[in-house]
Structure 1
Amino acid sequence: MSAMVVPVTWAQGIVLNNQSLRTDLNWLNQQGVIQISTSTWPMSGVEIQRAISQAKVTQESQQQVIDSVLAALNADNDMLKASFYAESDSKNIPQEFADKQKSQYQAALEFNAGGENWDAKIRVNAEKDPKIDNGQNVNVEGSYLAGKLWNQWLIAGQIPTYWGPGHDGSLIRGDASRPVYGFTAQRAEQKAFASKWLSWIGPWQYQAFAGQLDEYAAVPDTRLLGLRLTAQPLPYLELGVSRILQWGGEGRSESWDSLWNAIKGNDNFYNSEDDKSNQLAGIDVRFNLQSLFNIPVSVYGQYVGEDEAGLLPSRKMYLAGTDYSSSFRNMPFQLYTEWADTRTNGDSRGISYNHHIYTDGHYQHGFPLGHAMGGDGQMISVGGNIRFDPLNRLSTRVLFAKVNDSNRATNQTFPGKDEIRALDLTWSHYLRPDIPLKLNGWISDSDVNGQNGGASIGVEFPLDKTLFRN
């Protein structure tokens, strides 16, 4: 069978972090239906549509997932949307990918507009009882303006970023903190070079970012700079390299010479004048075994380190996992297991995500810019999801985490050494393809906080189709 085409008036230029969409795209990758990188967020709607247009569909369950992806893209095009979220109690477990609720209660109004070469999202959020306190009750997190020039998206705004193949976290750039104000550049389509000398690199993507951290007390106005490159030289192999640095700020040199020395990595000194930045760098890899052995399994890993020795990171953190995508009685499902270790070479030394000059560490408002558990932690998670029908999806994860083993005050997510065991369950019901209702429940047991449980509800709906329909 061939993929059904669902018309989209215009492709949303920038697709922000979306758990369900990433799950569906990974599922299609592992089934051999499409080939697309999902390790760099935000993504380009043009690239997603390109991959879907080349889909090789052979089963009804594969078509169901294709339809789900197209419905998500169409819903992202709704001109005017509103959303509401409330939870019964604060959820004190490591945040999962694309969790944009940074307060216990939130209402948001969102306006979307765009065309072939431009895109805009204006989102106004009203919050009560924040989990990440930024001193504001109203913000514009998730808003941006973007233009496309020669297959490059240039984006200005406050949007979440995520670098890496992990389900539950990235060692270098995750989305557990509030989004950072800044500018982003990336390719619109990940197509390979046309040149015969470079075509072997395969489909590739880059994302460059420059922004400024908010309320970073140690060095006010600290800049956050980063670059990520990914390539798929073989159908079953994706490689990624990432580098991020904190640089400049009040009282620090912001000369071109200082920046160039930081970029070269020539700044690993304890002298404050010579040490130009706080840096993290690493590599990640994903193997898709569908192309090799015709089994819908991927294995992936990420290695990130602080400080430089021999031009490579010397104080290392690790992440590894595997996932499996299949279907049961025409119901697509995915299972995964993941391990992450943010200690330094396996030891809790108070080094990971910390620095002697940028003493607030690799955090913003005390919440990690890297993995959601912060530095000097270990986490094992097992999870999955199943789509019962086009309108109902169930997802769950069980996690065991040791957090902040070095008792660093910079980690305000988990301000002291603790061990956490948790069950996290989410049911997503679509009242319409563009009206998702999400019910989440969790149970956790913490050595510090004891047993805890709670529930949350969230709904998002288009106002232009709901209120102004004829």
Structure 2
Amino acid sequence: MRNSLPLACLTGFFISLGQAQAQPTPQTGASVPYTPSWTARHYLQWLGDHASLPLTGSHWPLPAAAVRQALEKIAPAAAQADVQTARDFVLKELDMAQNQGRAQLHLRSESEALNGYGENYTPGSSAQLSSAELRRSWGNVSAAGRLGARLEASPNSLQSQFSGVGTEGEFQGRLDGSAAVLGFGGWNVQAFSHRQWWGPGWQSSLINGHNNPSWTGAGIQRDSVAPSDSAWLSWMGPWNLDVFVAKAQDPRVVAQQPQGFLFSGMRLTMKPQPWLEVGLSRGLQTGGAGRPSGAMNFAKSFLGQEVNKNPEDPFTDSSGQIAGYDLRARCPKSWSGMLGSCAAYTQWMGEDAAGSVIPLPFKFMSLWGVESTYGQGQYRVFAEWANTNAYSLPWDTKERFPGYVNGVYSQGYTQGGRWAGSAQGSGSEILTVGWMDAARQRMVKVHAGKVNTSLGAYDPRVSAPRGDLWGLSASQVFSWMGMRLTPELAYTELSEGQEQRANKRQNLRVGLVMAVPL
């Protein structure tokens, strides 16, 4: 699992930074990161397809002010009723996220499931608090912040022995939802604790998804998604760049594993045409106990140097890496009478690099999806196929092998003992068909396929539940006395493997989320 992001992406980062400082591109000021609920993301995507909303939909979180700035491009007085409904829903959610604190209790039976966008990864109960956003400004410099805290049952569903607190404890505390942001020159420099969703999928992100605990780290992100005034960058349309470094919270699953590695993520997302969105992503693991570390090693990792070690090479690998591309293309509007508002999307993530001058990812894991909305934006249906084997593209002729695992980082591509990409884990093939009712905030999904290694969490020492899989899940949001109540149900059945704590061959998950504004 080693490669280098295309040189063009790194070059684009430095060009973008220089142009942002030299050109009068729109600036929104500091704001806290915002990841929409699945309902709000549905509406944002629909507004992009129907009302030319200048916002990318495959890169979360984005700065809250960037999302608000894009929504303000839609004039309320001129908007049709369905456009106004979608816009108002997202603005209301944004207002609550920025101006109100929240207390949330998630009561859930201990069991695994295929977690997708916006879903809680914890195979058990959890509680979370977050404050309202605090904002300050001093001329061209601004600041924003929020405090968050989370207590949860251990997210590692394969772990049966616990000790002390922290990554090995039965209950674990995190600063999930916290952020400190300093904004200037069109950029947000931020320290944070949150999860990312990088990709166009609804069930899986192959590189950075919602199946794992929050990354706690620091980074830089563009403060808006508006098109650049720069002649060099205007072709990109609405765009955003996010670069961060975080410390992994990995329990010990094998002897001499490189615990405490650094994880660095980079994503550039752009919308060069109203019907086309493109993303470039990279994730790398470097350092950790027993591994080369320090500033020089990190620089080698960042620049893709000294990777893909061969037995005769005089160096030790600097890192384990994964990188690739994704895109989403909207159907022509002339098709809307037959297919509704439809789109197709794909994501390719490679585990190695080819080319000595410009190393490019290959050996791709792949994701393919189609989706359609109907009923004036109330409903969305999607079908998504994810294959987490290398060489999984239809035209690949070489023998496939499972992704997300390698000999350097023996705990795999994980965070908190859980797969940091797709919840289906290494070497799996899963088809998910989903239906969403945004007005009633109801979602139903059906899954079928094969899990090669383990579902949700990873421990190379055990023969975890795996094999042929089928499952279903459903959730529904209700409002009652100022609270949001979300009952959920998920059933997942696997054909092989040995049962481990909360990870069984027959997983029945029942839960209730209670959220109260503060």
| 1:319 and 2:367 aligned | yes
Distance change in 2, residues 1:415/1:212 (3 Å): same
**Quick one: distance in 2 between partners of 1:292 and 1:121?**
45
SS in 2 for 1:66: helix
SS in 2 for 1:260: helix
Partner of 2:422: 371
Aligned-residue CA RMSD in angstroms?
2.8
| 1:338 and 2:384 aligned | yes
| 1:275 and 2:328 aligned | no
**Quick one: distance in 1 between partners of 2:154 and 2:288?**
30
Partner of 2:97: 76
Out of 485, 489, 510, the residue aligned to residue 437 of structure 1 is 485
Q: CA deviation at 1:450?
A: 5.0
Q: Deviations over 1:18-72 (max 9, x none)?
A: 3222122112222235231021111111121122111266532222221111111
**Quick one: distance in 2 between partners of 1:287 and 1:419?**
32
Q: CA deviation at 1:149?
A: 1.6
Distance change in 2, residues 1:307/1:101 (3 Å): closer
Out of 51, 76, 92, the residue aligned to residue 112 of structure 2 is 92
Instruction: Give the counterpart letter for 2:391 in structure 1.
Output: N
Q: CA deviation at 1:288?
A: 1.8
Out of 418, 438, 445, the residue aligned to residue 397 of structure 1 is 445
Task: Decide which moves more: 173-182 or 48-57.
Answer: 48-57
Assess if the C-alpha contact under 8 Å between 1:28 and 1:34 holds in 2.
yes
Partner of 1:6: none
**Quick one: distance in 1 between partners of 2:454 and 2:441?**
39
Q: Deviations over 1:326-385 (max 9, x none)?
A: 21xx67111111110001214886541112121111112321111111110111001121
**Quick one: distance in 2 between partners of 1:393 and 1:406?**
30
Assess if the C-alpha contact under 8 Å between 2:245 and 2:262 holds in 1.
yes
Assess if the C-alpha contact under 8 Å between 2:465 and 2:495 holds in 1.
no
Q: Deviations over 1:88-109 (max 9, x none)?
A: x334221111223525222222
Instruction: Give the counterpart letter for 1:126 in structure 2.
Output: L
Partner of 1:7: none
SS in 1 for 2:124: strand
**Quick one: distance in 1 between partners of 2:34 and 2:465?**
36
Partner of 2:494: 446
Instruction: Give the counterpart letter for 1:382 in structure 2.
Output: V
SS in 1 for 2:147: strand
SS in 2 for 1:64: helix
Distance change in 2, residues 1:411/1:326 (3 Å): farther
Partner of 1:50: 69
Q: Which has the higher contact order (CA 8 A, sep 6+)?
A: 2
**Quick one: distance in 2 between partners of 1:280 and 1:292?**
38
| 1:210 and 2:245 aligned | yes
Give 1:31-430 correspondences, 5 Å limit: 31-55=50-74, 58-87=79-108, 89-115=109-135, 117-128=142-153, 130=155, 134=167, 135=169, 136-215=171-250, 217=252, 218-266=257-305, 267-271=307-311, 273-289=315-331, 296-310=341-355, 311-327=359-375, 332-346=378-392, 351-388=402-439, 392-405=440-453, 410=459, 415-430=464-479
Q: CA deviation at 1:17?
A: 5.3
Assess if the C-alpha contact under 8 Å between 2:121 and 2:211 holds in 1.
no
**Quick one: distance in 1 between partners of 2:92 and 2:460?**
38
Assess if the C-alpha contact under 8 Å between 1:375 and 1:411 holds in 2.
no
SS in 2 for 1:200: helix
SS in 1 for 2:66: helix
* Aligned length, in residue pairs: 447
Distance change in 2, residues 1:126/1:348 (3 Å): farther
**Quick one: distance in 2 between partners of 1:370 and 1:414?**
20
Distance change in 2, residues 1:91/1:78 (3 Å): farther
SS in 2 for 1:165: coil
Q: What TM-score results when the alignment is normalised by the length of structure 2? A: 0.79
Instruction: Give the counterpart letter for 1:259 in structure 2.
Output: F
Runs (4+) off by over 4 Å: 128-133, 290-295, 347-351, 405-409, 411-414, 449-452
Instruction: Give the counterpart letter for 1:286 in structure 2.
Output: R
Assess if the C-alpha contact under 8 Å between 1:235 and 1:291 holds in 2.
no
Q: Unaligned regions of 5+ residues in structure 1, if any?
A: 1-9, 464-470
Q: Give the fraction of aligned pairs with identical amino acids, expressed as a percent.
A: 24
Distance change in 2, residues 1:245/1:175 (3 Å): same
**Quick one: distance in 2 between partners of 1:380 and 1:455?**
23
Q: Deviations over 1:178-235 (max 9, x none)?
A: 1122113211111122123431221111110101111364112211112111111111
